[in-house]
Amino acid sequence: MNILVINCGSSSIKFKLFEMPDNVVVASGIVEKIGNKDAIVKYSKNGINHNEVREIYNHSQGLEIISTLLVDRVKGAVKNLNEIQGVGHRVVHGGEEFTGSMIIDEKVKEKIKEFIPLAPLHNPANLEGILAAEKYFPESVQVACFDTAFHTTIPVVAYLYAIPYSMYEKYKIRRYGFHGTSHRYVARRFAQIMGRHKYDVNLITCHLGNGCSITAVKNGKSIETSMGFTPLEGLVMGTRSGDIDPGVIFYLVENLGMKPSEVNKILNKESGLIGISGVSNDFRNIVESASKGNKMAQLAIEIFCYRVKKYIGSYLAVLGRVDGIIFTAGIGENQPIVREKSLEGLEEFGIIVDKGKNQNCLATEQEISSSESKIKIFVIPTNEELAIASDTYEFTKSKGKF
* Footprint of ligand AMP (CB under 6 A): 209-210, 238, 282-284, 329-331, 334-335
| Least distance (Å) between residue 337 CB and ligand AMP | 10
282 belongs to the catalytic site: no
Q: 132 vs 145, which CB is nearer to ligand AMP?
A: 145
DSSP assignment string, 365-389: -EE-B-TT-SSEEEE----HHHHHH
| Least distance (Å) between residue 385 CB and ligand AMP | 13
Task: Work out the angle between the directed axes of helices 123-136 and 106-114 (0-180°, nearest 10).
Answer: 160
| Least distance (Å) between residue 331 CB and ligand AMP | 4
Prior bond of 21 cis (ω within 30°): yes
**What is d(CA 77, CA 58) in angstroms, rounded to the nearest whole number?**
24
Check 72, 147, 243, 354 and give the catalytic one: 147
**What is d(CA 64, CA 132) in angstroms, rounded to the nearest whole number?**
8
| Least distance (Å) between residue 210 CB and ligand AMP | 4
Q: 1 vs 235, which CB is nearer to ligand AMP?
A: 235
Task: Tally the C-alpha atoms within 13 A of residue 118's C-alpha that lie toward its C-beta.
Answer: 23
Q: 220 vs 231, which CB is nearer to ligand AMP?
A: 231
Phi, psi of 284 (to 5 degrees): -60, -45
| Least distance (Å) between residue 361 CB and ligand AMP | 12
Q: Are 181 and 321 in contact (CB under 8 A)?
A: no
**What is d(CA 354, CA 370) in angstroms, rounded to the nearest whole number?**
4
322 DSSP 8-state letter: -
Q: Are 59 and 13 in contact (CB under 8 A)?
A: yes
Q: Are 52 and 44 in contact (CB under 8 A)?
A: no
Q: 118 vs 300, which CB is nearer to ligand AMP?
A: 300
111-116, Cβ contacts within 8 angstroms, sequence gap of 24 or more: 112/144
Q: Identify which of 388, 364, 389, 390 has the alpha carbon closest to the alpha carbon of residue 378.
A: 364
Q: 29 vs 220, which CB is nearer to ligand AMP?
A: 29
Q: 111 vs 207, which CB is nearer to ligand AMP?
A: 207
| Least distance (Å) between residue 207 CB and ligand AMP | 8
- The full 3-state SS of 327-367, as one line of letters, equals EEHHHHHHCHHHHHHHHCCCHHHCCCECHHHHHHCCCCCEE
Strand order in the sheet with 24-32: 48-54, 39-45, 24-32, 13-19, 2-8, 84-91, 141-146, 102-103
Q: Which residue of the chain is nearest ligand AMP when measured via CB?
A: 330
Q: Identify which of 46, 156, 141, 57 has the alpha carbon closest to the alpha carbon of residue 101.
A: 141
| Least distance (Å) between residue 297 CB and ligand AMP | 12
Q: 152 vs 334, which CB is nearer to ligand AMP?
A: 334
Active site residues: 147
